[in-house]
Chains A and B, each alone.
Chain A
Amino acid sequence: MKKNPYKVLGIKEGASYDEIKRAYRELAKKYHPDKYRNNPLADLADEKMREINEAYETLMKNAGGAYQYQQDYDQTYENSNASQGSYSQQYQQQQQQKQQQQSSSQYQYQYQYGYDDEAELERQARMYVNNGNLAEAQRILDKMRNRNASWYYLQGLVFLRRGWYDRGYSSIQKAVNMDPSNFEYRNALNNLNQQRAGYRQNPYYRNTYHQSPDMCNLCVNLWCADTCCECMGGDLIGCC
Protein backbone atom coordinates (compact mmCIF):
# COMPACT_ATOMS: atom_id res chain seq x y z
CA MET A 1 0.00 0.00 0.00
CA LYS A 2 1.36 3.35 -0.95
CA LYS A 3 1.33 5.99 1.75
CA ASN A 4 -0.03 9.46 1.33
CA PRO A 5 2.98 11.51 0.22
CA TYR A 6 1.81 14.55 2.17
CA LYS A 7 1.70 12.52 5.34
CA VAL A 8 5.13 11.05 4.68
CA LEU A 9 6.61 14.53 4.39
CA GLY A 10 4.52 15.79 7.30
CA ILE A 11 2.88 18.68 5.46
CA LYS A 12 -0.66 19.85 4.71
CA GLU A 13 -2.31 18.81 1.49
CA GLY A 14 -1.89 21.47 -1.11
CA ALA A 15 1.34 22.75 0.43
CA SER A 16 3.35 25.07 -1.74
CA TYR A 17 6.38 24.15 -3.77
CA ASP A 18 8.71 25.73 -1.23
CA GLU A 19 7.07 24.06 1.72
CA ILE A 20 7.45 20.66 0.10
CA LYS A 21 11.08 21.34 -0.62
CA ARG A 22 11.80 22.54 2.87
CA ALA A 23 10.09 19.55 4.45
CA TYR A 24 11.96 17.19 2.16
CA ARG A 25 15.29 18.73 2.93
CA GLU A 26 14.72 18.54 6.66
CA LEU A 27 13.65 14.92 6.55
CA ALA A 28 16.50 13.96 4.25
CA LYS A 29 18.87 15.37 6.83
CA LYS A 30 17.09 13.54 9.61
CA TYR A 31 17.29 10.11 7.98
CA HIS A 32 20.55 10.58 6.16
CA PRO A 33 22.50 7.32 5.82
CA ASP A 34 25.59 8.99 7.36
CA LYS A 35 23.71 9.48 10.57
CA TYR A 36 22.77 5.80 10.78
CA ARG A 37 26.12 4.48 9.69
CA ASN A 38 26.92 2.53 12.85
CA ASN A 39 23.38 1.86 13.88
CA PRO A 40 21.58 -1.48 13.91
CA LEU A 41 18.48 0.28 12.60
CA ALA A 42 20.21 1.45 9.41
CA ASP A 43 17.94 -0.67 7.20
CA LEU A 44 14.84 0.97 8.68
CA ALA A 45 16.31 4.40 8.09
CA ASP A 46 17.06 3.42 4.49
CA GLU A 47 13.48 2.38 4.04
CA LYS A 48 12.26 5.66 5.46
CA MET A 49 14.59 7.55 3.16
CA ARG A 50 13.23 5.68 0.18
CA GLU A 51 9.68 6.53 1.21
CA ILE A 52 10.59 10.19 1.54
CA ASN A 53 12.31 10.26 -1.84
CA GLU A 54 9.30 8.63 -3.44
CA ALA A 55 6.87 11.02 -1.81
CA TYR A 56 8.94 14.00 -2.85
CA GLU A 57 9.18 12.83 -6.42
CA THR A 58 5.45 12.19 -6.64
CA LEU A 59 4.58 15.59 -5.25
CA MET A 60 7.09 17.42 -7.38
CA LYS A 61 5.83 15.73 -10.52
CA ASN A 62 2.30 16.78 -9.70
CA ALA A 63 3.26 20.27 -8.73
CA GLY A 64 5.34 21.45 -11.62
CA GLY A 65 5.66 18.77 -14.28
CA ALA A 66 8.50 16.34 -14.65
CA TYR A 67 10.88 18.66 -16.43
CA GLN A 68 10.73 21.45 -13.91
CA TYR A 69 10.99 19.04 -11.05
CA GLN A 70 14.10 17.42 -12.41
CA GLN A 71 15.85 20.71 -12.93
CA ASP A 72 14.94 22.01 -9.55
CA TYR A 73 15.86 18.84 -7.79
CA ASP A 74 19.34 18.84 -9.24
CA GLN A 75 19.84 22.52 -8.63
CA THR A 76 18.91 22.30 -4.99
CA TYR A 77 21.41 19.61 -4.34
CA GLU A 78 24.19 21.03 -6.38
CA ASN A 79 23.87 24.18 -4.32
CA SER A 80 23.63 22.65 -0.94
CA ASN A 81 25.89 19.70 -1.44
CA ALA A 82 28.55 21.11 -3.70
CA SER A 83 29.03 18.55 -6.47
CA GLN A 84 28.18 15.56 -4.35
CA GLY A 85 24.89 14.93 -6.11
CA SER A 86 21.55 14.39 -4.44
CA TYR A 87 20.97 12.29 -1.42
CA SER A 88 19.25 9.63 -3.41
CA GLN A 89 22.12 9.45 -5.88
CA GLN A 90 24.58 9.19 -3.07
CA TYR A 91 22.46 6.58 -1.51
CA GLN A 92 22.32 4.50 -4.68
CA GLN A 93 26.04 4.74 -5.08
CA GLN A 94 26.55 3.59 -1.55
CA GLN A 95 24.22 0.68 -2.02
CA GLN A 96 26.07 -0.34 -5.18
CA GLN A 97 29.40 -0.12 -3.43
CA LYS A 98 28.08 -2.17 -0.58
CA GLN A 99 26.83 -4.85 -2.92
CA GLN A 100 30.09 -4.90 -4.80
CA GLN A 101 32.02 -5.20 -1.59
CA GLN A 102 29.85 -8.00 -0.41
CA SER A 103 29.91 -9.98 -3.60
CA SER A 104 33.66 -9.60 -4.05
CA SER A 105 34.42 -10.65 -0.50
CA GLN A 106 32.09 -13.58 -0.77
CA TYR A 107 33.87 -14.58 -3.93
CA GLN A 108 37.22 -14.41 -2.20
CA TYR A 109 35.84 -16.13 0.81
CA GLN A 110 34.81 -19.13 -1.28
CA TYR A 111 38.12 -19.29 -3.03
CA GLN A 112 40.44 -18.86 -0.11
CA TYR A 113 38.50 -20.64 2.55
CA GLY A 114 40.79 -22.39 4.96
CA TYR A 115 43.69 -20.17 3.97
CA ASP A 116 44.45 -18.74 7.37
CA ASP A 117 46.01 -15.55 6.27
CA GLU A 118 45.62 -12.30 8.23
CA ALA A 119 44.56 -10.17 5.28
CA GLU A 120 41.88 -12.67 4.42
CA LEU A 121 40.62 -12.73 7.99
CA GLU A 122 40.43 -8.98 7.92
CA ARG A 123 38.36 -9.07 4.74
CA GLN A 124 36.00 -11.54 6.33
CA ALA A 125 35.70 -9.47 9.47
CA ARG A 126 34.87 -6.44 7.38
CA MET A 127 32.24 -8.37 5.49
CA TYR A 128 30.57 -9.52 8.71
CA VAL A 129 30.64 -6.00 10.10
CA ASN A 130 28.93 -4.78 6.93
CA ASN A 131 26.33 -7.53 7.15
CA GLY A 132 25.68 -6.76 10.79
CA ASN A 133 26.75 -10.22 11.95
CA LEU A 134 28.60 -8.97 15.02
CA ALA A 135 29.20 -12.24 16.81
CA GLU A 136 30.99 -13.69 13.80
CA ALA A 137 32.98 -10.49 13.22
CA GLN A 138 34.11 -10.52 16.83
CA ARG A 139 35.12 -14.15 16.59
CA ILE A 140 37.34 -13.44 13.60
CA LEU A 141 38.82 -10.32 15.18
CA ASP A 142 39.72 -12.32 18.25
CA LYS A 143 41.51 -14.82 16.03
CA MET A 144 43.70 -12.20 14.36
CA ARG A 145 47.13 -11.70 15.83
CA ASN A 146 48.22 -8.65 13.92
CA ARG A 147 46.66 -5.76 15.85
CA ASN A 148 47.25 -2.95 13.38
CA ALA A 149 45.28 0.22 12.71
CA SER A 150 42.68 -1.50 10.59
CA TRP A 151 42.14 -4.13 13.28
CA TYR A 152 41.38 -1.39 15.80
CA TYR A 153 39.11 0.31 13.31
CA LEU A 154 37.07 -2.83 12.71
CA GLN A 155 36.97 -3.62 16.41
CA GLY A 156 35.73 -0.08 17.01
CA LEU A 157 32.92 -0.55 14.49
CA VAL A 158 31.85 -3.77 16.19
CA PHE A 159 31.79 -2.04 19.58
CA LEU A 160 29.75 0.84 18.22
CA ARG A 161 27.22 -1.45 16.59
CA ARG A 162 26.59 -3.33 19.79
CA GLY A 163 26.29 -0.14 21.81
CA TRP A 164 29.65 0.01 23.56
CA TYR A 165 30.42 3.60 22.67
CA ASP A 166 33.27 4.26 25.06
CA ARG A 167 35.32 1.35 23.80
CA GLY A 168 34.24 1.99 20.23
CA TYR A 169 35.43 5.56 20.41
CA SER A 170 38.77 4.71 21.95
CA SER A 171 39.41 1.90 19.44
CA ILE A 172 38.75 4.21 16.51
CA GLN A 173 40.82 6.92 18.16
CA LYS A 174 43.64 4.41 18.42
CA ALA A 175 43.31 3.48 14.75
CA VAL A 176 43.57 7.17 13.83
CA ASN A 177 46.64 7.60 16.04
CA MET A 178 48.34 4.59 14.48
CA ASP A 179 47.60 5.65 10.94
CA PRO A 180 46.85 9.37 10.89
CA SER A 181 46.81 9.59 7.09
CA ASN A 182 43.92 7.15 6.66
CA PHE A 183 40.84 8.99 5.52
CA GLU A 184 38.36 6.28 6.47
CA TYR A 185 39.37 6.14 10.14
CA ARG A 186 39.50 9.87 10.50
CA ASN A 187 36.11 10.17 8.86
CA ALA A 188 34.61 7.65 11.26
CA LEU A 189 35.99 9.53 14.26
CA ASN A 190 34.65 12.84 12.97
CA ASN A 191 31.29 11.24 12.37
CA LEU A 192 31.14 10.08 15.98
CA ASN A 193 31.86 13.55 17.29
CA GLN A 194 29.31 15.01 14.94
CA GLN A 195 26.61 12.60 16.05
CA ARG A 196 27.24 13.48 19.64
CA ALA A 197 27.23 17.20 19.05
CA GLY A 198 24.24 16.85 16.72
CA TYR A 199 22.02 15.67 19.54
CA ARG A 200 22.11 19.09 21.16
CA GLN A 201 21.27 20.72 17.85
CA ASN A 202 17.69 19.50 17.77
CA PRO A 203 15.31 22.44 17.64
CA TYR A 204 13.48 21.55 20.82
CA TYR A 205 16.60 21.89 22.94
CA ARG A 206 18.42 24.57 20.98
CA ASN A 207 15.57 27.03 20.89
CA THR A 208 15.19 26.87 24.63
CA TYR A 209 18.72 26.72 25.89
CA HIS A 210 20.67 28.73 23.35
CA GLN A 211 18.47 31.74 23.05
CA SER A 212 19.46 35.27 22.37
CA PRO A 213 19.71 37.40 25.55
CA ASP A 214 16.43 37.53 27.41
CA MET A 215 15.00 40.35 29.54
CA CYS A 216 16.76 39.23 32.68
CA ASN A 217 20.09 39.26 30.92
CA LEU A 218 19.33 42.63 29.42
CA CYS A 219 18.71 44.20 32.83
CA VAL A 220 21.86 42.72 34.29
CA ASN A 221 23.89 43.98 31.34
CA LEU A 222 22.43 47.47 31.67
CA TRP A 223 23.18 47.49 35.36
CA CYS A 224 26.76 46.39 34.70
CA ALA A 225 27.22 49.06 32.08
CA ASP A 226 25.84 51.66 34.45
CA THR A 227 28.17 50.56 37.23
CA CYS A 228 31.14 50.70 34.91
CA CYS A 229 30.23 54.17 33.75
CA GLU A 230 29.90 55.30 37.33
CA CYS A 231 33.33 53.90 38.12
CA MET A 232 34.76 56.06 35.40
CA GLY A 233 32.96 59.09 36.73
CA GLY A 234 30.10 59.18 34.23
CA ASP A 235 26.57 57.86 34.42
CA LEU A 236 24.53 55.78 32.00
CA ILE A 237 21.19 55.63 33.79
CA GLY A 238 20.54 58.76 35.75
CA CYS A 239 18.10 57.38 38.32
CA CYS A 240 20.41 54.78 39.87
Chain B
Amino acid sequence: MFGYVEPDKPELKIREFDVFRGYYCSLCKTIGKRYGQIPRLSLSYDLTFLYILLDATSAFPLGGRRERCIAHPLKKRFRVFSNIFAEYASDMNVILTYYSLKDKWDDEKSLLGGTGSLALKMAFNKARKLHPEKCSAIEGYLKDLRTLEKNKCDSVDEAAEPFASLMRELFECGHIKDESTRKTLGWMGYNLGRWIYLIDAFDDLSKDIKHKSYNPILCQYDFNGEDVESFKERVRKALNFNLTYSLSEIEKAYSLLDIEKNKGILDNILYSGLIVKTDAILQGRGKNEKESI
Protein backbone atom coordinates (compact mmCIF):
# COMPACT_ATOMS: atom_id res chain seq x y z
CA MET B 1 0.00 0.00 0.00
CA PHE B 2 1.30 3.35 -0.90
CA GLY B 3 -0.64 5.87 1.15
CA TYR B 4 -2.16 7.83 -1.71
CA VAL B 5 -5.73 7.71 -0.44
CA GLU B 6 -5.96 10.81 1.70
CA PRO B 7 -8.57 13.44 2.38
CA ASP B 8 -8.26 16.86 0.83
CA LYS B 9 -7.45 18.39 4.20
CA PRO B 10 -8.13 22.08 3.55
CA GLU B 11 -11.68 21.20 2.53
CA LEU B 12 -12.51 19.06 5.57
CA LYS B 13 -14.56 20.53 8.37
CA ILE B 14 -12.72 20.56 11.66
CA ARG B 15 -15.23 18.13 13.11
CA GLU B 16 -14.73 15.80 10.15
CA PHE B 17 -10.99 16.04 10.49
CA ASP B 18 -11.31 15.09 14.14
CA VAL B 19 -13.43 12.08 13.29
CA PHE B 20 -11.02 11.06 10.53
CA ARG B 21 -8.14 11.21 12.95
CA GLY B 22 -10.29 9.38 15.45
CA TYR B 23 -10.61 6.49 13.02
CA TYR B 24 -6.88 6.58 12.40
CA CYS B 25 -6.18 6.40 16.14
CA SER B 26 -8.72 3.69 16.57
CA LEU B 27 -7.13 1.55 13.87
CA CYS B 28 -3.69 2.12 15.37
CA LYS B 29 -4.85 1.11 18.82
CA THR B 30 -6.70 -1.91 17.49
CA ILE B 31 -3.51 -3.11 15.85
CA GLY B 32 -1.69 -2.53 19.13
CA LYS B 33 -4.24 -4.47 21.09
CA ARG B 34 -4.37 -7.41 18.70
CA TYR B 35 -0.76 -7.66 17.59
CA GLY B 36 1.48 -5.76 20.01
CA GLN B 37 3.35 -2.51 19.71
CA ILE B 38 5.69 -3.02 16.74
CA PRO B 39 3.01 -3.75 14.11
CA ARG B 40 1.42 -0.40 14.98
CA LEU B 41 4.13 1.22 12.89
CA SER B 42 2.59 -0.34 9.79
CA LEU B 43 -0.55 1.79 10.01
CA SER B 44 -1.60 3.31 6.69
CA TYR B 45 -4.09 5.87 5.39
CA ASP B 46 -5.45 3.50 2.78
CA LEU B 47 -6.60 1.02 5.40
CA THR B 48 -8.03 3.85 7.46
CA PHE B 49 -10.12 4.74 4.43
CA LEU B 50 -11.26 1.12 4.14
CA TYR B 51 -12.22 1.14 7.81
CA ILE B 52 -14.22 4.36 7.47
CA LEU B 53 -15.94 3.13 4.34
CA LEU B 54 -16.92 -0.25 5.75
CA ASP B 55 -18.09 1.32 8.97
CA ALA B 56 -20.14 3.84 7.03
CA THR B 57 -22.20 1.11 5.40
CA SER B 58 -23.25 -0.26 8.77
CA ALA B 59 -25.71 1.22 11.20
CA PHE B 60 -23.44 0.91 14.26
CA PRO B 61 -23.65 4.17 16.16
CA LEU B 62 -20.51 6.29 16.07
CA GLY B 63 -18.93 6.73 19.49
CA GLY B 64 -15.58 7.65 20.92
CA ARG B 65 -13.69 9.46 23.64
CA ARG B 66 -10.51 11.45 24.23
CA GLU B 67 -7.47 9.36 25.11
CA ARG B 68 -3.73 9.58 25.34
CA CYS B 69 -1.36 7.34 23.41
CA ILE B 70 2.37 6.65 23.07
CA ALA B 71 2.75 8.70 19.94
CA HIS B 72 1.03 11.73 21.48
CA PRO B 73 1.58 11.46 25.23
CA LEU B 74 0.89 15.07 26.09
CA LYS B 75 -2.45 15.79 24.54
CA LYS B 76 -5.55 13.69 24.65
CA ARG B 77 -6.98 12.94 21.24
CA PHE B 78 -10.35 11.79 20.09
CA ARG B 79 -10.58 8.13 19.12
CA VAL B 80 -13.48 6.20 17.71
CA PHE B 81 -14.46 3.02 19.55
CA SER B 82 -13.32 0.05 17.55
CA ASN B 83 -15.67 -2.55 16.14
CA ILE B 84 -15.44 -5.56 13.84
CA PHE B 85 -14.43 -3.37 10.92
CA ALA B 86 -11.50 -1.94 12.87
CA GLU B 87 -10.42 -5.49 13.57
CA TYR B 88 -10.80 -6.45 9.93
CA ALA B 89 -8.84 -3.43 8.72
CA SER B 90 -6.10 -4.05 11.27
CA ASP B 91 -5.75 -7.69 10.19
CA MET B 92 -5.52 -6.63 6.55
CA ASN B 93 -3.03 -3.93 7.42
CA VAL B 94 -0.72 -6.47 9.03
CA ILE B 95 -1.06 -8.91 6.15
CA LEU B 96 -0.36 -6.33 3.45
CA THR B 97 2.53 -4.71 5.26
CA TYR B 98 4.11 -8.07 5.86
CA TYR B 99 3.90 -9.00 2.19
CA SER B 100 5.22 -5.67 1.01
CA LEU B 101 8.19 -5.81 3.40
CA LYS B 102 8.92 -9.37 2.45
CA ASP B 103 8.79 -8.37 -1.19
CA LYS B 104 11.34 -5.63 -0.54
CA TRP B 105 13.62 -8.13 1.16
CA ASP B 106 13.31 -10.71 -1.61
CA ASP B 107 13.85 -8.16 -4.37
CA GLU B 108 16.42 -5.75 -3.13
CA LYS B 109 17.60 -7.33 0.10
CA SER B 110 16.71 -4.07 1.79
CA LEU B 111 17.47 -3.99 5.48
CA LEU B 112 14.12 -2.44 6.34
CA GLY B 113 12.33 -5.20 4.45
CA GLY B 114 14.30 -7.93 6.18
CA THR B 115 13.98 -6.74 9.74
CA GLY B 116 10.42 -5.54 9.22
CA SER B 117 9.12 -8.78 7.82
CA LEU B 118 10.89 -10.67 10.60
CA ALA B 119 9.31 -8.44 13.22
CA LEU B 120 5.88 -8.86 11.68
CA LYS B 121 6.12 -12.62 11.19
CA MET B 122 4.27 -13.53 14.39
CA ALA B 123 1.55 -10.98 13.80
CA PHE B 124 1.21 -12.13 10.22
CA ASN B 125 0.79 -15.76 11.25
CA LYS B 126 -1.99 -14.78 13.60
CA ALA B 127 -3.75 -12.71 10.95
CA ARG B 128 -3.42 -15.49 8.42
CA LYS B 129 -5.08 -17.91 10.78
CA LEU B 130 -8.04 -15.52 11.03
CA HIS B 131 -8.41 -14.96 7.28
CA PRO B 132 -6.96 -17.97 5.47
CA GLU B 133 -8.91 -17.44 2.20
CA LYS B 134 -8.19 -13.73 1.94
CA CYS B 135 -4.57 -14.42 2.64
CA SER B 136 -4.13 -17.07 -0.02
CA ALA B 137 -6.02 -14.92 -2.55
CA ILE B 138 -3.75 -11.96 -1.80
CA GLU B 139 -0.70 -14.15 -2.09
CA GLY B 140 -1.92 -15.39 -5.48
CA TYR B 141 -2.40 -11.86 -6.80
CA LEU B 142 1.01 -10.79 -5.59
CA LYS B 143 2.52 -13.76 -7.35
CA ASP B 144 0.72 -12.73 -10.56
CA LEU B 145 2.06 -9.23 -10.11
CA ARG B 146 5.61 -10.49 -9.77
CA THR B 147 5.27 -12.67 -12.87
CA LEU B 148 3.93 -9.74 -14.91
CA GLU B 149 6.76 -7.54 -13.74
CA LYS B 150 9.34 -10.18 -14.51
CA ASN B 151 7.95 -10.60 -18.03
CA LYS B 152 8.03 -6.81 -18.50
CA CYS B 153 4.32 -6.57 -19.27
CA ASP B 154 3.76 -3.75 -21.75
CA SER B 155 0.14 -2.87 -20.99
CA VAL B 156 -0.73 -0.65 -18.07
CA ASP B 157 -4.19 -2.22 -17.83
CA GLU B 158 -2.82 -5.71 -17.59
CA ALA B 159 -0.13 -4.72 -15.12
CA ALA B 160 -2.66 -3.01 -12.87
CA GLU B 161 -4.98 -6.03 -12.84
CA PRO B 162 -3.40 -8.07 -10.00
CA PHE B 163 -3.21 -5.17 -7.58
CA ALA B 164 -6.71 -4.05 -8.51
CA SER B 165 -8.04 -7.57 -7.86
CA LEU B 166 -6.18 -7.65 -4.58
CA MET B 167 -7.97 -4.50 -3.52
CA ARG B 168 -11.28 -5.96 -4.62
CA GLU B 169 -10.58 -8.90 -2.34
CA LEU B 170 -9.86 -6.50 0.51
CA PHE B 171 -12.99 -4.42 0.02
CA GLU B 172 -15.28 -7.44 -0.21
CA CYS B 173 -15.28 -7.77 3.54
CA GLY B 174 -16.97 -10.86 4.93
CA HIS B 175 -18.67 -8.88 7.70
CA ILE B 176 -20.90 -7.20 5.12
CA LYS B 177 -23.79 -9.55 4.68
CA ASP B 178 -25.66 -7.89 1.85
CA GLU B 179 -24.55 -9.41 -1.44
CA SER B 180 -25.01 -6.35 -3.64
CA THR B 181 -23.32 -4.02 -1.16
CA ARG B 182 -20.35 -6.35 -1.14
CA LYS B 183 -20.25 -6.42 -4.91
CA THR B 184 -20.42 -2.62 -5.05
CA LEU B 185 -17.62 -2.32 -2.52
CA GLY B 186 -15.61 -4.82 -4.53
CA TRP B 187 -15.91 -2.73 -7.69
CA MET B 188 -14.87 0.33 -5.74
CA GLY B 189 -11.86 -1.57 -4.47
CA TYR B 190 -10.95 -2.79 -7.92
CA ASN B 191 -10.93 0.70 -9.38
CA LEU B 192 -9.19 2.20 -6.40
CA GLY B 193 -6.51 -0.47 -6.73
CA ARG B 194 -6.05 0.40 -10.40
CA TRP B 195 -5.79 4.05 -9.53
CA ILE B 196 -3.24 3.43 -6.77
CA TYR B 197 -1.13 1.20 -8.97
CA LEU B 198 -1.10 3.60 -11.91
CA ILE B 199 -0.55 6.76 -9.90
CA ASP B 200 2.31 5.06 -8.12
CA ALA B 201 3.80 3.98 -11.44
CA PHE B 202 3.64 7.54 -12.74
CA ASP B 203 5.07 8.93 -9.53
CA ASP B 204 8.00 6.50 -9.78
CA LEU B 205 8.85 7.30 -13.41
CA SER B 206 12.02 9.31 -12.84
CA LYS B 207 13.26 6.89 -10.20
CA ASP B 208 12.64 3.88 -12.42
CA ILE B 209 14.36 5.51 -15.37
CA LYS B 210 17.37 6.24 -13.23
CA HIS B 211 17.60 2.74 -11.81
CA LYS B 212 16.48 1.10 -15.05
CA SER B 213 13.79 -0.82 -13.21
CA TYR B 214 10.47 -2.06 -14.55
CA ASN B 215 7.61 0.39 -14.97
CA PRO B 216 4.52 -0.48 -17.04
CA ILE B 217 4.18 3.09 -18.31
CA LEU B 218 7.70 3.06 -19.72
CA CYS B 219 6.97 -0.24 -21.44
CA GLN B 220 3.60 0.61 -22.93
CA TYR B 221 4.61 4.00 -24.32
CA ASP B 222 8.04 2.87 -25.61
CA PHE B 223 10.40 4.99 -23.60
CA ASN B 224 13.40 5.63 -25.86
CA GLY B 225 15.85 7.36 -23.59
CA GLU B 226 14.31 10.77 -24.06
CA ASP B 227 14.08 13.47 -21.42
CA VAL B 228 11.86 12.51 -18.45
CA GLU B 229 9.75 15.64 -18.75
CA SER B 230 9.04 15.24 -22.44
CA PHE B 231 8.14 11.59 -21.88
CA LYS B 232 5.73 12.59 -19.13
CA GLU B 233 4.25 15.20 -21.42
CA ARG B 234 3.70 12.54 -24.05
CA VAL B 235 1.87 10.08 -21.79
CA ARG B 236 0.04 12.54 -19.57
CA LYS B 237 -3.14 12.71 -21.59
CA ALA B 238 -3.64 8.95 -21.87
CA LEU B 239 -2.93 8.46 -18.19
CA ASN B 240 -5.19 11.29 -17.22
CA PHE B 241 -8.02 9.52 -19.03
CA ASN B 242 -7.20 6.18 -17.48
CA LEU B 243 -6.94 7.54 -13.95
CA THR B 244 -9.92 9.86 -14.06
CA TYR B 245 -12.09 7.19 -15.62
CA SER B 246 -11.16 4.82 -12.80
CA LEU B 247 -12.16 7.52 -10.35
CA SER B 248 -15.45 8.05 -12.12
CA GLU B 249 -16.17 4.33 -11.73
CA ILE B 250 -15.39 4.58 -8.02
CA GLU B 251 -17.83 7.44 -7.78
CA LYS B 252 -20.53 5.47 -9.59
CA ALA B 253 -20.12 2.56 -7.22
CA TYR B 254 -20.04 4.88 -4.22
CA SER B 255 -23.32 6.51 -5.14
CA LEU B 256 -24.97 3.08 -5.10
CA LEU B 257 -24.00 2.45 -1.48
CA ASP B 258 -26.30 3.32 1.40
CA ILE B 259 -24.02 5.52 3.46
CA GLU B 260 -25.24 5.75 7.04
CA LYS B 261 -22.56 8.01 8.47
CA ASN B 262 -19.25 9.79 7.77
CA LYS B 263 -20.63 11.04 4.47
CA GLY B 264 -18.66 14.27 4.73
CA ILE B 265 -15.33 12.51 5.06
CA LEU B 266 -16.01 10.00 2.32
CA ASP B 267 -17.29 12.68 -0.06
CA ASN B 268 -14.17 14.66 0.63
CA ILE B 269 -11.84 11.75 -0.12
CA LEU B 270 -13.69 10.40 -3.13
CA TYR B 271 -14.76 13.62 -4.81
CA SER B 272 -11.85 15.83 -3.97
CA GLY B 273 -8.91 14.10 -2.28
CA LEU B 274 -8.28 11.59 -5.05
CA ILE B 275 -8.56 14.00 -7.96
CA VAL B 276 -6.44 16.63 -6.26
CA LYS B 277 -3.79 13.97 -5.73
CA THR B 278 -4.09 12.85 -9.34
CA ASP B 279 -3.56 16.37 -10.64
CA ALA B 280 -0.67 16.97 -8.28
CA ILE B 281 1.16 13.84 -9.35
CA LEU B 282 0.41 14.16 -13.05
CA GLN B 283 1.80 17.66 -12.93
CA GLY B 284 4.92 16.46 -11.17
CA ARG B 285 4.16 17.48 -7.63
CA GLY B 286 4.15 13.98 -6.17
CA LYS B 287 6.11 12.85 -3.17
CA ASN B 288 8.99 11.57 -5.28
CA GLU B 289 9.42 14.90 -7.00
CA LYS B 290 9.80 17.06 -3.94
CA GLU B 291 13.60 17.11 -4.01
CA SER B 292 13.75 18.44 -7.53
CA ILE B 293 11.63 21.53 -6.87
Decide whether A and B are members of one complex.
yes
Hey, which bits of chain A sit against chain B, CB under 8 A?
A: 30-31, 35-36, 39-41, 44-45, 48, 159, 163-167, 169, 192, 195-196, 198-200, 202, 204-205, 208-209
From A30, A35, A40, residue with most partner B Cβ within 10 Å: A40
In the complex, A45→B184 CA distance in Å? 11
A39 touching B249, Cβ below 8 Å: yes
In the complex, A44→B183 CA distance in Å? 10
| CB contact between A41 and one of B183, B220, B246 (< 8 Å): that residue | B183
| CB contact between A196 and one of B155, B156, B191, B245 (< 8 Å): that residue | B245
Chain A neighbourhood of B244, CB < 8 A: 196, 199-200
Further pairs besides A165-B246, A202-B251: 14, Cβ < 8 Å: A35-B252, A39-B252, A40-B183, A41-B253, A41-B256, A48-B256, A165-B245, A169-B245, A196-B244, A199-B248, A199-B275, A200-B275, A204-B272, A208-B11
In the complex, A215→B155 CA distance in Å? 46
> Secondary structure of the B side of the interface?
helix
A164 touching B272, Cβ below 8 Å: no
In the complex, A39→B252 CA distance in Å? 9
A44 touching B275, Cβ below 8 Å: no
In the complex, A172→B143 CA distance in Å? 31
A195 touching B245, Cβ below 8 Å: yes
Q: Please, could you name 30 A-B residue pairs with CB atoms under 8 Å apart, sorted by A?
A: A31-B255, A36-B252, A39-B187, A39-B249, A39-B252, A40-B183, A41-B183, A41-B184, A41-B187, A41-B256, A44-B184, A44-B256, A45-B252, A163-B194, A165-B242, A166-B155, A166-B238, A166-B241, A195-B245, A195-B248, A199-B244, A199-B245, A199-B275, A202-B251, A204-B11, A204-B267, A204-B268, A204-B272, A208-B272, A209-B272
A205 touching B275, Cβ below 8 Å: yes
Q: How large is the interface on B (under 10, 10 to 19, 20 to 34, 35 or more residues)?
A: 35 or more
Interface string of B88-99 (1 = CB under 8 A from A): 000000000000
B248 touching A166, Cβ below 8 Å: no
In the complex, A110→B252 CA distance in Å? 37
A164 touching B184, Cβ below 8 Å: no
In the complex, A27→B54 CA distance in Å? 24
In the complex, A35→B247 CA distance in Å? 14
Interface string of B157-197 (1 = CB under 8 A from A): 11001001000000000000000100110010011001000
What residue in chain A is nearest B188 (Cβ atoms)?
A41
> Secondary structure of the A side of the interface?
helix
B190 touching A163, Cβ below 8 Å: yes
B247 touching A199, Cβ below 8 Å: yes
A167 touching B155, Cβ below 8 Å: yes
B157 touching A166, Cβ below 8 Å: yes
What residue in chain B is nearest A198 (Cβ atoms)?
B248
Nearest-neighbour CB distance to chain B for A47, whole angstroms, equals: 8
Chain B neighbourhood of A195, CB < 8 A: 245, 248
Of residues 227 through 264 on chain B, the ones whose CB sits less than 8 Å from some CB of chain A are 238, 241-242, 244-249, 251-253, 255-256
| CB contact between B156 and one of A35, A41, A166, A202 (< 8 Å): that residue | A166
B184 touching A196, Cβ below 8 Å: no
What residue in chain B is nearest A35 (Cβ atoms)?
B252
B81 interfacial by beta-carbon distance below 8 Å = no
Chain B neighbourhood of A30, CB < 8 A: 255
In the complex, A45→B155 CA distance in Å? 31
A196 touching B157, Cβ below 8 Å: no
B158 touching A164, Cβ below 8 Å: yes
| CB contact between B241 and one of A164, A165, A198 (< 8 Å): that residue | A165
What residue in chain A is nearest B268 (Cβ atoms)?
A204
B45 interfacial by beta-carbon distance below 8 Å = no
Nearest-neighbour CB distance to chain A for B281, whole angstroms, equals: 16
